Amino acid sequence: MEVRDLRYSVAGRTLLDGVNLLLPAGRSLAVTGPSGSGKSTLLNCVLGLIRCDEGEVVVAGRDLTTLTPRSLARHRRSTVGMVFQFGELLPELTPVENVALAALLAGVKRDEAFGRARRLLTDLGVPVGGTPTAELSGGERQRAAVARALVNQPQLLLADEPTGSLDAQNREAVADLLFSLPEQWGCAVLVVTHDTSVAARAHGCFTLHEGKLLSQGSAAESRPTLAEGRGR
Ligand SMILES: Nc1ncnc2c1ncn2[C@@H]1O[C@H](COP(=O)(O)OP(=O)(O)OP(=O)(O)O)[C@@H](O)[C@H]1O
């Protein structure tokens, strides 16, 4: 993913004021910042849900700002996975059904969709029986949300406050899982979080401040190659 000179204003306020970010496959980045600084807005630009005023957003080789709504939706389905703070799963469906549904909507055949869902959930330690998702623990639900984001084998995984609703133990487990994905799956991971201990696990960390991304380095700085960002 590459974001070039992104600018976006809303209600007379400049939220993104020339944001640049480069996130290669197999690397992770965290973005922190005060409430209201525009972090979710940045993710929505990367998802193509918000059209920026200026700049480019390149995901898996295509500039989203040039795509029609239909091609944008198709490109997003095939390249991006998203994890939300509260999982946003359908509570009455089982975890397998929730995860398989994302694959079915992307055009995967039924047997393959359910097979992928069961395998992923088993790998991530989520029960694959008939229990409705509403009955799972917070950590299990969030791991199921990660499985749903991964089911279409995305090149880019985005997460907005993925540990915000979890207790300390589950926060650790979900953060471990998310930041293991670049190595395990080769995808790029971009996480927005208030939690500095979660952010410190990323290859690179930025703070969004007055529309600019400021590099914070990372506790993972000892790793040989940082995910690159050109924030300042
Ligand atoms: N369509 C809109 N109209 C008016 N204001 C908006 C709109 N969209 C976003 N905002 C404002 O822009 C600011 C940035 O919102 P955003 O959700 O990106 O912040 P955030 O950094 O993710 O905050 P939080 O950490 O609390 O989730 C907020 O003050 C929000 O109220």
pLDDT reported for residue 125:
86
CB neighbourhood size of 186 (10 A): 11
Question: Which strand (E) or helix (H) includes residue 188?
Answer: strand 188-192
154 within 8 A of 120, measured Cβ to Cβ: no
Q: Answer for the pair 191, 199: CB distance below 8 angstroms, yes or no.
A: yes
R_g (Cα) of the chain, nearest Å = 17
Tokens, residue 50: 């918000």
N- to C-terminal Cα separation, the chain: 18
Whole-angstrom CA distances from 199 to 16, 22, 99 are 20, 17, 26
What is the CATH superfamily name and number for domain 2-89+156-222? Answer: P-loop containing nucleotide triphosphate hydrolases (3.40.50.300)
Q: Is the CB of 11 under 6 A from ligand 1?
A: yes
Q: Which helix (H) or strand (E) holds 213?
A: strand 212-217
Q: Quote the ligand 1 centre to 173 CA distance (angstroms).
A: 28
| Centroid of ligand 1 to alpha carbon of 51 (angstroms) | 15
The response to whether residue 36 sits with its C-beta less than 6 Å from ligand 1 reads yes
pLDDT on residue 78:
87
**Three-state SS for 121?**
helix
Secondary structure of the chain: what % helix, strand, coil (to 5)? 40, 25, 35
Residues 6+ apart with CB under 8 A from 219: 200, 201
Residue nearest ligand 1's atom 26 by CA = 35
- Sort strands 188-192 and 28-32 into parallel, antiparallel or unpaired: parallel
User: 85-125 pLDDT, tens per residue?
Assistant: 776 899 999 999 999 999 999 899 999 999 999 999 998 88
Residue 167: CB partners within 8 Å, gap ≥ 6?
Answer: 138, 139
Residue with structure tokens 């380095």?
Answer: 217
User: Do 157 and 150 meet the contact criterion of CB atoms below 8 Å apart?
Assistant: yes
Q: How far apart are CA 92 and CA 96, in angstroms?
A: 12
Ligand 1, residue 43: give the atom nearest the CA.
18
From the CA of 44, give the closest atom in ligand 1: 18
Q: Is residue 211 lining ligand 1, measured as CB closer than 6 Å?
A: no
Q: What is the pTM of this model?
A: 0.88
Q: Is the CB of 12 under 6 A from ligand 1?
A: no
105 alpha carbon – ligand 1 mean position (Å):
29
Question: Residues of the chain whose pLDDT is less than 50?
Answer: 219-232
The structure tokens 């039924």 sit at: 110
Nearest of 2, 10, 56 to residue 211 by alpha carbon: 10
Q: Which of 89, 4, 101 is nearest to 46 (CA)?
A: 4
DSSP label of 137: -
- The residue contributing the CA closest to ligand 1 atom 10 is 10
pLDDT at 230 (0 to 100): 43
Q: How far is the CA of 144 from the centre of ligand 1 (A)?
A: 27
What integer pLDDT is reported at residue 165 of this predicted model?
80
Inter-residue contact 9 to 45 (CB < 8 Å): no
Residue-level pLDDT at 187: 93
CB distance 35 to ligand 1 below 6 Å: yes
Q: How far is the CA of 43 from the centre of ligand 1 (A)?
A: 11
| Interval between CA 207 and ligand 1 midpoint (Å) | 15
pLDDT recorded at residue 167: 83
Distance 147 CA to ligand 1 centre (A): 27
The domain spans of the chain are 2-89+156-222
